């Protein structure tokens, strides 16, 4: 009997320990992630606002991605922390807040992903041997692409404002809404953007190799020195290609 009591006591103690650890993780985990996320975004701000990158379209896309990542991390983690630990009941009592939060926690990281994709496309264009394709890698195009990416992001997630509601807790409605939302998350937010990133990254790699071969052939035919400013520009372009690929 004493051994059974001891076994029950050990199990009870173990369960209590697991609950305490789980509670501490759900409390401090979001705080740690928020601090790390903000620090990382601030580092990106400093990096991509450097004087030598201010007129670089690829750096501009990375900067815009960092902006949306910062807003996404801050809003998502703070709103969840408030609901879990600060007694906020808005998410399960207000249909408007339920829909709006579900919408923003999807659309903000999606737009940030779009900007990473745009940076991959930009590096692919800038590394092309075609002058026409290289002309797409400029700030004027970047500003227009930014507006288009933001518009597509907000419009593509518009169904969330309909699909989410209180039932009685905030969540996606059952039936066709649930199926469509699941497919949307898997394909539109996950698979498609990353396949496109991989594709343009591979094309960029091929463009760089093709350009290096052309330069090597020209060097064999013509001897000369490379201007220092051109070296710095090539180094900057190479670093951005590595980051975006």
Tens digit of each residue's pLDDT, the chain (245 residues): 555 555 555 556 666 667 776 767 777 888 898 999 999 999 999 999 888 888 899 999 999 999 999 999 999 999 988 888 888 888 889 999 999 999 999 999 999 999 999 999 999 998 888 888 888 889 999 999 999 999 999 999 999 999 998 888 888 888 888 888 889 988 988 899 999 999 999 998 888 888 777 666 555 555 444 445 555 555 555 555 555 54
pTM higher than the cut 0.75: yes
Tokens 């990254």 locate to 201
**Structural domains in the chain, sorted by start:** 2-244 (1.20.1070.10)
HEC string of the chain? CHHHHHHHHHHHHHHHHHHHHHHHHHHHHHHHHHHHHHHHHHHHHHHHCCHHHCCCHHHHHHHHHHHHHHHHHHHHHHHHHHHHHCCCCHHHHCHHHHHHHHHHHHHHHHHHHHHHHHHHHHHHHHCCCCHHHHCCCCHHHHHHHHHHHHHHHHHHCCCHHHHEEECCCEEECCCHHHHHHHHHHHHHHHHHHHHHHHHHHHHHHHHHHHHHHHHHHHHHHCCCCCCHHHHHHHHHHHHHHHHHC
Instruction: Give Cβ neighbours of residue 37 (< 8 Å, ≥ 6 apart).
Output: 69, 70, 73, 74, 77
């Amino acid at each position: 009997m004493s051994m059974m009591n001891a076994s029950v006591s050990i199990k009870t103690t173990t369960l209590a320990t697991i609950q305490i650890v789980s509670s501490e993780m759900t409390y401090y985990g979001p705080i740690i992630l928020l601090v790390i996320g903000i620090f990382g975004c601030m580092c990106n701000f400093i990096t991509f606002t450097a004087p030598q990158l201010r007129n670089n379209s690829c750096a501009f896309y990375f900067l815009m991605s960092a902006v949306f990542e910062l807003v996404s991390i801050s809003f998502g983690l703070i709103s969840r922390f408030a609901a879990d630990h600060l007694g906020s009941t808005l998410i399960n009592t207000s249909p408007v807040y339920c829909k709006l939060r579900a919408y923003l926690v999807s659309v903000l990281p999606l737009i940030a992903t779009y900007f990473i994709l745009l940076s991959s496309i930009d590096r692919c264009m800038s590394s092309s041997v075609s002058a026409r394709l290289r002309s797409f890698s400029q700030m004027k195009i970047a500003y227009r692409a930014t507006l288009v990416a933001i518009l597509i992001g907000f419009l593509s997630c518009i169904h969330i404002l309909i699909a989410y509601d209180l039932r009685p807790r905030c969540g996606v409605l059952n039936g066709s809404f649930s199926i469509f939302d699941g497919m949307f998350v898997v394909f539109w937010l996950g698979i498609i953007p990353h396949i496109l990133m991989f594709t343009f990254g591979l094309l960029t790699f091929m463009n760089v190799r093709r350009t290096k071969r052309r330069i090597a052939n020209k060097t064999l035919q013509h001897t000369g020195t490379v201007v220092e400013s051109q070296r710095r520009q090539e180094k900057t372009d190479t670093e951005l290609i590595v980051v975006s690929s």
